[in-house]
Chain A
Amino acid sequence: NAGVTQTPKFRVLKTGQSMTLLCAQDMNHEYMYWYRQDPGMGLRLIHYSVGEGTTAKGEVPDGYNVSRLKKQNFLLGLESAAPSQTSVYFCASSYRDRALLQYFGPGTRLTVT
């Protein structure tokens, strides 16, 4: 089992460019999440999904879009990147149970210049 994987690991964008981050999990988890982590801060939830074809906003959704067309994949899109979106992005997944124990991917380091 690969667990949770993220593509790419690193990316540099110019302001106004777009990109998509891919998260994939092979644990048959129902729930998936996208977080961002900024220096000196904890993780902040961007969007999440409780199942294929469904998504919901988290704490900091502005400037991002997501899609979950397949159960194992959760895509995070930046349509017009801004320097404020420079961050490390983590994807996580969990079973739909009482605990919602999360398994995290290795992260994507994004720099917007």
Chain B
Amino acid sequence: ELKVEQNPLFLSMQEGKNYTIYCNYSTTSDRLYWYRQDPGKSLESLFVLLSNGAVKQEGRLMASLDTKARLSTLHITAAVHDLSATYFCAGRTGNQFYFGTGTSLTVIP
């Protein structure tokens, strides 16, 4: 079974600052995924990282994957309030997905 750990679990950051969320996983994962969930809402897919060294960017968010270290990062650049949400990473083995417990991000003005 694939174990996925995220840290930090809670993150409070000021607008305009940069920060990184880390996602470690225990065994080989076919792919690595990042999702966003707003309070009381469903999940939205942000990134799919398909191979070692993959980097994807969308706006102020950038995700990367290092399969040798079994590590993915979600970097936030110059945070804005609209980025406040819970972010999940998930690994996949075969057709099964395994989620981390999430990082609750609050961006403070």
A-side interface residues toward B, CB under 8 Å?
A: 31, 33, 40-45, 48, 50, 56, 58-59, 90, 92, 98-107
B-side interface residues toward A, CB under 8 Å?
A: 1, 4, 31, 33, 41-45, 48, 50, 88, 90, 92, 95-102
Which residue on chain B has the smallest CB distance to residue A92?
A: B43
A-B CB pair tally, cutoff 8 Å = 55
A107 CB contact (under 8 Å) in B42, B95, B100: B42
Given contacts A43-B99, A56-B95, contact A101 B45 (CB under 8 A): yes
Which residue on chain B has the smallest CB distance to residue A109?
A: B40
The main secondary structure of chain B at its interface with chain A is: strand
Q: Is the CB of A100 within 8 A of B99?
A: no
Residues of A within 8 A of B99 (CB): 42-44
Q: Is the CB of A42 within 8 A of B96?
A: no
Q: Is the CB of A43 within 8 A of B95?
A: no
Q: Is the CB of B45 within 8 A of A103?
A: yes
Residues of A within 8 A of B102 (CB): 41-42
Q: Is the CB of A90 within 8 A of B97?
A: no
The residue in A43, A92, A104 that gathers the most chain B C-beta atoms within 10 A of its C-beta is A43
Given contacts A42-B88, A42-B90, contact A48 B48 (CB under 8 A): no
A102 CB contact (under 8 Å) in B1, B97, B98: B97
Which residue on chain A has the smallest CB distance to residue B48?
A: A99
- Please, could you name 17 A-B residue pairs with CB atoms under 8 Å apart, sorted by A? A40-B101, A41-B102, A42-B4, A42-B88, A43-B88, A43-B90, A45-B96, A45-B98, A59-B1, A59-B96, A100-B31, A101-B45, A101-B48, A102-B97, A104-B43, A106-B41, A106-B42
